[in-house]
Amino acid sequence: MSLSFIHRSAMLCRGFRASFNLYDHTARIPNTTIRLRTLCSSAGETNTGILQSTEEYKFVERLIPPSRVPIPPKHDGPSPSGWTPPSEVPPALPYMIRRSRMHNVPVYTDLTHGSRKTTLVRKVEGDIWALEKDVKEYLQQLTGKDLPTQVNEVTMTLRVKGHFDTELKEWLVKKGF
Q: What is the pLDDT of residues 125-166, one digit of tens each?
A: 999 999 999 999 999 999 999 999 999 999 999 999 999 999
Looking at the 3D structure of the chain, how many domains does it have? 1
Residue 2 lies in a domain: no
Phi, psi of 160 (to 5 degrees): -120, 140
Residue 3 lies in a domain: no
The pLDDT, as a whole number, for residue 8 is: 62
Residue 142 lies in a domain: yes
Residue 39 lies in a domain: no
Name the band, by pLDDT with cuts 50, 70 and 90, for residue 24. Answer: very low
Residues with Cβ within 8 Å of 93's Cβ and at least 6 positions away in sequence, in order, are 126, 130, 175
Residue 36 lies in a domain: no
Residue 50 lies in a domain: no
How does pLDDT run across 76-124, given as a tens digit for each residue? 778 888 888 888 898 999 999 999 998 999 999 999 999 999 999 999 9
Residue 44 lies in a domain: no
How does pLDDT run across 129-139, given as a tens digit for each residue? 999 999 999 99
Alpha helices by DSSP H, listed for 21-127, are 31-41, 57-63
Q: What is the largest CA-CA distance in the chain?
A: 94
The pLDDT, as a whole number, for residue 25 is: 47
CA–CA dist 55, 98 (Å, integer): 40
**Domain at 111, CATH number:** 3.30.780.10
The pLDDT, as a whole number, for residue 7 is: 60
Domain that holds residue 115: 55-177
Chain centroid, CA 115 distance in Å: 29
Q: What spatial distance separates the first Cα and last Cα of the chain, rounded to whole Å?
A: 85
CA–CA dist 121, 160 (Å, integer): 8
Residue 96 lies in a domain: yes
CA–CA dist 55, 86 (Å, integer): 39
